[in-house]
Each structure stands twice: as C-alpha cells, then as structure tokens.
Amino acid sequence: MTWNVRIGINPIGWMNDDLPALGGDTPLETALREGAEIGYEGFELGNKFPKEGPALKAKLGEFGVACVSGWYSGALAEIPDGLSNWQVLDAEMQGCFEHMKKLQYNGCKVVVYGEVAGSVQGRMDTPLSRRPRFRTEQEWRHYATLLNTFGEHLQKTFGLTLAYHHHMGAYVESPEEVDRLMALTDPRHVGLLFDTGHAFFGGAADPVALLRRHLARVVHVHCKDVRPAVIERARNEGWSFLASVLNGAFTVPGDGAIDFASVLSALRGGGYEGWLVVEAEQDPAVAPSYAYAKKGYETLRGLVEGLS
C-alpha cells in the first residue's frame, strides 16, 4: 500500500530569515523554481513569500507547488505584568488572524507554532544555556491551558491544527520538556511538530525513541540532519543557536548522523500521513542550495518508496 506522505521543503537552505546575510540576495523565484525542478511538492513559508492569501496562491501556482504550512511566532509562555493569562490569549487570537487566514486560503492543514516568548534562538551572542525554562508545575499547567485553548480556537476558526515546534533556545527544547508538554496538553487541540535535528541537539541521543513515545501526537515533521561533532562543540563552548547554524550544526537528510530509515519507518508504522519537510539551516555559500536540496529530496524519496 502506498504511504500517503508528501515531501516538501523550507526555503531556509536558499535564504535564512533569522540570518538575512545567508542568501539574502537570492530571489524567492529561484528557490521555488529549483525546488519544483528537484521534485518537491510544496514549500513552507518564509519572509519573502507574498503576505496575502490569493497572491501567495498565485505565486506558488506559477511553479506548481503547494503551501505546506508557515511558522507562527507565538508568545503564550510569558505573561507581562499587569495582564491576565486570558488577556494575553485574546491578543494572540486577534494577532494571528491574517496569518491563519492566509494558510487557510492556501489549503494548509497545520500551522507551525514556535514559542518565541523569552527565546534566545535569534540572539547571536546569547548561549543556548541561557534559554528560558518553566520552573514550577503551575507555570507548566498555565502554559498548557493557554495552548489548549489557542489550538481549539485555530481548529474551530480556521480548520488548522496547532503543530508545536520544540526548538533550541526556547522553553520546550529537551526530550523531557517535550514529554512534559505532551502530557499536559490536549491531543485534540495540540499536535507535535517532530523535528529530528532539534530533537538530537536538544538532548535526544536517539531521536527515534522520542518520536516513538509521541507518534500519536505527530501532525507535522521537519527532516533535519545533524553533524554531531559541531553540536558537541556548540554545547562545550557555549555557542548560541545562530552560531551553531553558521558553524554547520545542521544539514539535509543523508548528509549527517541521523538514521532517517528508522525515523520514517517509525512514522509509517505509527500511521503518520502528511508532509515530510526538509529543513536545514546552512550557509548556501558553503552548502550550495540546489545540491543540498536535491540530496535531501533523493534521500527521503528513496526511503518513502521503500516503505510504500
């Protein structure tokens, strides 16, 4: 039986939103044309994509690719002084409207939720060790309650499932934190975006073990490979997330140490259906965009065909 998955890509290998100097001069059309030529069926969004739903659909249509999803910067983990949890939640619901409508218009099923409150992921000179953490059970439970309500709102209003992206430099980074979040959130309203590279960097020596624990919650997948020697240096020398990226911590599937055959086999066995998205932050001057995107696609395509 054919496995019902599609292979997409994030444009971060051509142009990096967090580090604009990486591929900053590369036109969006270059990424779309090359990605489509390689065989990718869709793209996740970046800052160079049209901001309005119809314009986005038209641009993607020029190259015959779909809109996979798009990152949403959420800020529910910290409550500013003078505001209640529900005031912050209400502001989030109102502020997300245009982004969610754009995804809805383009037929997306999930939205990538990245928690940016307190995050150090975009700070070049801030070590990952200084990332934020929930300190008490009450903080964890308040956060889970807000996510549950926000996820329910996205489903009812836009037909989108919240795909929570565990991420370096943010509140939910380690395997234990992923476990805790999944235990506290409602599976009806909060799904998991499983990112192989962030799982490894976050402390999962075997990302597949973490994946298997939460297969029923996985609604979206980022396929990112790692260079363990670079990650070890990042940990030992106190690098920031962006410094780790610049030094080559991540690469595409098939070019690093992660066993993607086991990753995809676990997903297949767990009944996952959806997108497999190649996402590998690299400097295109060091890792040429087309060549690496092609390697990532061919790696995943070969494995998917072997499981179908």
Q: Is 1 a residue whose pLDDT tops 80?
A: no
Q: Is 219 a residue whose pLDDT tops 90?
A: yes
- φ/ψ of 51, rounded to 5, equals -90, -20
Rounded distance between C-alpha atoms, residue 144 and residue 190, angstroms: 9
Rounded distance between C-alpha atoms, residue 122 and residue 114, angstroms: 12
The token pair that represents 26 in the structure block: 């590369």
Please report the pLDDT score of residue 78 as a whole number.
96
Rounded distance between C-alpha atoms, residue 175 and residue 145, angstroms: 20
The token pair that represents 178 in the structure block: 């992923």
CATH number at residue 68: 3.20.20.150
Please report the pLDDT score of residue 19 as a whole number.
84
- φ/ψ of 143, rounded to 5, equals -65, -45
pLDDT digits (tens, 9 = 90+) for 117-174: 999 999 999 999 999 999 999 999 999 999 999 999 999 999 999 999 999 999 999 9
Please report the pLDDT score of residue 166 as a whole number.
98
Contacts of 245 (CB under 8 A, 6+ apart): 16, 18, 19, 281, 282
DSSP assignment of 144-158, as one string? HHHHHHHHHHHHHHH
Q: How many domains does the chain divide into?
A: 1
Question: What is the identity of the amino acid at 144?
Answer: A
Please report the pLDDT score of residue 308 as a whole number.
83
Residue range of the domain that includes 132? 5-307
pLDDT digits (tens, 9 = 90+) for 66-103: 999 999 999 999 999 999 999 999 999 999 999 999 99
pLDDT digits (tens, 9 = 90+) for 243-275: 999 999 999 999 999 999 999 999 999 999 999
Predicted TM-score of the model (pTM): 0.97
State in Å, rounded, how far the first CA of the chain is from the last one. 6
pLDDT digits (tens, 9 = 90+) for 13-69: 999 888 887 878 899 999 999 999 999 999 999 999 999 999 999 999 999 999 999
